[in-house]
Structure 1
Amino acid sequence: MTEVLAQNGKPRTVKAAADDLVEVRMTVNGTPAVLSLPARVTLADALRDHLGLTGTHVGCEHGVCGMCTVLVDGEAARACLLFAVQLDGADVVTVEGLGRPDDLHPLQEAFGRNHALQCGFCTPGFLMSSYDLLSNQPEVTEEELPEELSGVICRCTGYRNILTAVRETQEAHPGGIPAPGNCAQRALVGRATGQAGGSTDGREVTEETESSRRIDIVLPDGDPTIAVDIGTEIGVPVDAVWRVFDDVSLLARCLPGAELTEDLGEDHYAGRARVSVGPIKLAFKGVAHVVEHDRAGQRLRVLAQGQDTGGAQTQADIVLRTEATASGTVMRAKAEVYLTGRIAQFGRALAGDVSRRMFEQFADALREAATSGQAPSGPVEAPSALKLLFAPLFDRIRTALRRKSR
């Protein structure tokens, strides 16, 4: 059962089959999220597979082990026992919202300081349960701690260090434990519908709601999964290339497998893309932000992120540079790409080859658009599985043969 808005604006309860898509709006770690997912999807799966928040671990899926503990409207809850459709309008805080990598929550610092992490599988559940305990029972005694925290199971038998960390945090903050420190509006990886605070029930989208869809894309810390730096010669004048760059809609038509679906304003765009590698077919929905458009400096920079319904996620920082030459234009692309989920299972070499093939297709389509001033005559399809898998192999064979002939 779920509630939807009737034409008179009043909520009414309707039945939803297990696989029926239901729109759910919730606030996750301070960020409004709109998800369209089957009624059977649990909160744990929605957080992990649709929003990319994999800090919420799934263990027994019976509400016993406590690994999936999160805060729902300020109270600890088992994410594996709740359906996402039950939480329309709820405020959810996961372990990612507790603290930032550069500013950990006191509980996180205490866990690290006291070696309370062990294998780490139970750590998110213990952190969220401990936060809930110290928030609601700040005067819990040392003797009561073992029983109060027994709702989470540690498989490494590291209870003593965990209890020490919680007790240490309690003593360091007698006036009350600090609130979660990483709950602010930002771009979640997943936004499964490509909508963040938008309206799909026919009501007018207000200016405030519209602006909430243009939140900044935050790239992960650390090294990217793939780093690509490639260039190619395009036999058209640089001004013609930049006329395509100036038209984002036309530029998007040159991207393999991509489609621009909405202009969100202020250089933010929504879109979708399809990629097929062997038996794995991915259909991404996401957002892009043109953060730099410098015609004089011949530099275009775009941040992008997307996720498919199976949980594969991608984020990218892409810089395109052009340089006029006697024969036309040299275009160089530098991209740092972060991958998680199924798509991250491919080796770096193969993923790099795939990226290069897609860049070649993009360059060919861009050349056609720059020459004609119109979108490519046909859709720029994403590379087929055979081309993606065998073309790099043939390239390597040719390179090996050339070396051998020297």
Structure 2
Amino acid sequence: MTSTEEPVQEGLRPVRAEAGETVEVRFTVNGTPAVLNLPARVTLADALRDHLGLTGTHVGCEHGVCGMCTVLVDGEAARACLLFACQLDGAEVVTVEGLGRPDDLHPLQESFGRNHALQCGFCTPGFLLSSYDLLSNKPEVTDEELPAELSGVICRCTGYRNILTAVSQTRAAHPEGIPEPGNCARRTLVGRSGGQSATVVEERAEPSGEADRNVEIVLPEGDPTIAVQVDTALDVPFDEVWRVLDDVRVLAGCLPGAELTEELGEQLYAGRARVAVGPIKLSFHGIARVLEQDRETGTIRVLAQGQDTGGAQTQADITLRAHATAAGTELRADAAVYLTGRIAQFGRALAGDISRRMFEQFADSVRQAATTGEAPQRSHAAPSAFRMMFGTLLDRIKRIGRPRGGK
């Protein structure tokens, strides 16, 4: 080669990005245009699952062997775990959600159900899309050839016989060619956390400015990942504590690693929060809305949501209640926290303990702010989850080793 330019694989966009830099990706997913801003390292599988809420694309080996993550890229089967999302700028992607509608299933889906080819369901999306690709490109495939043709997807329940029967019956029912995916149309794509800020159609994923003002924070259905309740006695008068709770900017500064960046009006605020997990540093950008701020009851309630560039997402419903006591103020924090992505990989119990530690630090910061009038500067630094985790483990060990009776 006489050129000094790096060779580029045909059909893939050359991408060069610095560490931590995001790349804008515009593609069509199940008929809907989508725009994502992602680090270049994010795979298509993670983009689909964590940023678009399309969790039908399953992740298994992450080496392109098991076939769980099979999707259609420009009409051809591809392993979503082996493609970086930034390579697919301008591509058309179809996932299992695009194959058929709940009230109008694709013939393959109907046949899988009719022949009990679902088993545990983990391999089903991969088999459905691999089968669709096979019948689209080789409609004349014979029953004898099916086992080899579908060997690229591994069924962990060993339900191959029913799967092969389902594919064979679909082929026989459509000798002129299998119908195209029936659920590909323009619609709103939402994040798996319930529709907030993971992605937006024809807008940037990171919320900012005017776009934020139109965002409605809706919590996911079901139980939260973590439910936390922390009671703290503060040796500070109620009036001084309420001055902190009544000033959202000071209050935000009391949250470990949090920082308010913009007041958007109508009790809506933009901000960021940082968490350090060993060498991994997460930086969440998001918004918060104050739903209630009542001095008479000493209550403030906040809904918040944020997303890290790597796909981790968090939403929270936080209620703070303060009431005067003879010794000062009793502060109670109740939080329902929903986590997805990397940050959700901690065990629930341990994540709950870490969250309680963070609220204990928050209460201490409120005490300092109530005394000095300013939130402590250290609260803007990224709190170390490992340090809090080890503190939690030490507490657990101490409780286990404590003799009965507490002596």
Normalization by structure 2: what TM-score? 0.68
> 1:375 offset after TM fit, Å?
2.9
Q: Does 1:397 align with 2:401?
A: no
DSSP 3-state at the match of 2:183:
coil
CA gap of 1:163–1:374, structure 2 versus 1, over 3 A, is same
- Note the alpha carbon deviations across 1:67-103, whole angstroms, 9 max, x for none: 3222446765443454422322545443466689xx6
Residue 365 of structure 1 contacts residue 376 of structure 1 at CA under 8 Å; is this kept in 2? Answer: yes
**What's 1:87 paired with?**
88
The residue identity in structure 2 corresponding to 1:184 is T
Alignment partner, residue 322 of structure 1? 321
* Corresponding position of 1:7: none
Return the letter of the residue paired with 2:365. Answer: A
For 2:244 and 2:145, the matched residues in 1 are separated by 64
Amino acid of the structure 2 residue aligned with 1:318 = D
- Pick one of 29, 36, 39 that aligns with 1:37: 39
Q: SS of the residue aligned with 1:320? A: strand
CA gap 1:342/1:85 in 2 versus in 1, 3 angstroms: closer
1:334 aligns with 2:334: yes
Per-residue Cα deviation, 1:310-364 (whole angstroms, up to 9, x for no partner): x6x3534333131422344433222233445554454443322211111111011
**1:179 positional shift:** 1.1
Q: 1:186 maps to what in 2?
A: 190
Q: Which amino acid aligns with 2:283?
A: F
In 2: Cα distance, 1:403 partner to 1:215 partner: 50
> Contact between 2:68 and 2:125, CA under 8 Å: does it hold in 1?
yes
Compared CA separation, residues 292 and 164, structure 1 to 2 (3 A):
farther
Q: Are residues 398 and 265 of structure 1, via their aligned partners in 2, closer, same or farther at CA, if it must alter by over 3 Å?
A: same
Deviation at 1:378, TM superposition (A): 3.8
Question: 1:86-141: per-residue Cα shift (whole Å, max 9, x none)?
Answer: 322545443466689xx68735676456432335443222233456789x79xx79
Distance (whole Å) between structure 2 residues aligned to residue 86 and residue 294 of structure 1: 47
The structural deviation recorded for 1:257 is 1.8
Deviation for aligned residue 1:232: 1.8
The aligned counterpart of 2:270 is 269
State the shift of 1:152 in Å. 4.8
Q: Is the 8 A contact 1:24 1:84 kept in 2?
A: no
**Residues 389 and 160 of structure 1: CA distance in aligned 2, closer, same or farther (over 3 Å):** same
Q: Deviations over 1:37-67 (max 9, x none)?
A: 23x6542354457767664345677867643
Task: Decide which moves more: 78-87 or 48-57.
Answer: 48-57
Runs of 5+ consecutive residues of structure 1 not aligned to the other structure = 3-12
Report the counterpart of residue 361 of structure 1 in structure 2.
Answer: 361
Is the alpha carbon distance of 1:159 and 1:18 closer, same or farther for their aligned partners in structure 2, counting shifts above 3 Å?
Answer: farther
> How far, CA to CA, are the matches of 1:350 and 1:60 in structure 2?
26
The size of the alignment, in residue pairs, is: 378
Q: How far does residue 255 in structure 1 lie from its aligned partner after superposition?
A: 0.9
Distance 2:244 2:85 in 1: 42
State the secondary structure of the residue aligned to 2:351.
helix
Could you tell me how far apart the structure 2 residues matched to 1:82 and 1:25 are? Answer: 13
Secondary structure of residue in 2 paired with 1:233: strand
Q: Deviations over 1:207-254 (max 9, x none)?
A: 5xx2698364553x5544432222223344556545444544332211
1:260 alignment partner AA: L
RMSD: 5.0
Which residue of 1 is the match for residue 105 of structure 2? Answer: 106
Q: Which residue number in structure 1 is paired with residue 231 of structure 2? A: 231
Change (3 A) 1:17 1:349: closer
TM-score, normalized by length of structure 1? 0.68
Residues 1:25 and 2:25 aligned together: yes
**Amino acid in structure 2 at the alignment position of 1:275:** A
